Amino acid sequence: MDEGTPDALRMLLTRTVVRQFTDRPVGDELVELMLEAMVAAPSASNRQAWAFVAVRDPRTLRLVTAFSPGVIDRPPLLVAACFDRSRTARRRPGPWDEGLLCVAMAVQNLLLAAHALGLGACPVASFRAGPVRRLLGLPAHIDPVLLVPVGHPARLPTRAPRRDQKEVISHDFWGRHDRA
């Protein structure tokens, strides 16, 4: 990454997990921009087999947080990203559903939009699905997949170290690290 890197690419490279937030609320306009970016993610067969609940009500935030060990600070906004099983494109049972992957991609857009707007966020998979369902009134066909706390960062985030690219990326064939 150097000075010639486009802003948009820089945003991808500098986003990191933010888990602690100031008390400052997240205004309507920012919420709207983030939600718009979120549903601009890809959608398998354009089924949009997803649903989202954006929570800002303080009582609901307190209760959801209490049942979500992965949410370590009380955020001003929490988005529950869900898979809508009634809209699945899958004809036969398999290890996973494309629609589920699209929920994750939408969450990534949300994280990136937050970062682009000077906010911080993180994806959380550690929560008790039963109580979260009840608190948010989710019907049976809606599965909560990830919770995303969002807010103004309380501290400067640091990036987690990454595995060496040679461990993770091959070229043309598994385990080949230089192009033929």
The alpha carbon torsion through 111, 107, 102, 31 (nearest 10 deg) reads -100
The one among 25, 42, 69, 130 contacting a second copy by CB under 8 A: 42
What is the rounded radius of gyration, in angstroms, for the C-alpha atoms of the chain? Answer: 18
Record the tokens describing residue 140, joined without a space: 């049976």
Q: What is the DSSP string of 116-139?
A: HTT-EE--B--S-HHHHHHHHT--
Told to check if 71 binds a second copy by CB under 8 A, we report no
CB of 74 to a second copy, least distance (A): 15
Told to check if 136 binds a second copy by CB under 8 A, we report yes
The one among 37, 119, 132, 147 contacting a second copy by CB under 8 A: 37
Instruction: Determine the length of the chain.
Output: 180
Told to check if 21 binds a second copy by CB under 8 A, we report no
CB of 154 to a second copy, least distance (A): 19
Three-class DSSP category at 166: helix
| CB nearer a second copy, residue 72 or residue 138 | 138
The one among 95, 140, 156, 158 contacting a second copy by CB under 8 A: 95
